[in-house]
Amino acid sequence: MRGSGAPGCPRVSPTRCASWESSWRRPRRLPGGRHGPGARQATFSTEDGVVLVDRDRCIGCRYCIQACPYGARYLDPRARVADKCTFCYHRVATGLLPACVEACPTQARIFGDLRSKASRLVRFTRMNRIHVLKPSLNTQPKVYYAQLDGEVR
C-alpha cells in the first residue's frame, strides 16, 4: 500500500488491533484459582464487539501476546500486564470517536458501526474494496483496510 499514491511515499504495513476472540481455547487453572496460558477471563469482548484486556485478571504470562496473529498485544512495562489498542473505548462509550480517528489530519481512519446503514464506514465499505489482515486465519477481525496489496495481507 502506498501513502497517498504520490511518488516517494513510503510503503506501510498496518498493525492495528484486530479482534479475534474466536481463536481462544479453554483456560487452564493454576494453583490458587488463577488462570494460566490462554486465560479467557482476562480477555473479553464488549457488547459493541471491542476486545479488551481486564488488567485486574491478567497475570502477565504473555501467552496472549505470543498468540496474537496480528502482533497487536504488548506487555505494559509499568503494570506488567498485557495490553492492546482499546479503540479508546472510554471515549467510544460516551459517543466520541477514538483519538487516532479524530486527530488524523488526512482522515485516513474511519470508525463506525457496520450495523448502521447511515454510517460513513458502511458507505466507505460499499464504495471500496476492503480487506482484513491474514484472512486465511478466519479470526473474524473487525478492522478493515482499503487498498492492501498481497504483500501486506
- Per-residue pLDDT 10s for the chain (153 aa) are 333 444 444 444 444 444 433 333 333 444 444 445 545 589 998 988 889 999 999 999 999 999 999 999 999 999 999 999 999 999 999 999 999 999 999 999 999 988 888 999 999 999 999 999 999 999 888 899 998 876 665
**How confident is the model at residue 105, as a pLDDT?**
95
Cα(92)–Cα(100) distance, integer angstroms: 12
Q: Is 63 helix (H, G, I), strand (E, B) or coil?
A: helix
pLDDT at 39 (0 to 100): 52
Phi-psi region of 49 (alpha: psi -120 to 50; beta: other; left: phi over 0): left
Strand 130-131, strand 145-146: pairing? antiparallel
CATH code for the part of the protein at 21-146: 3.30.70.20
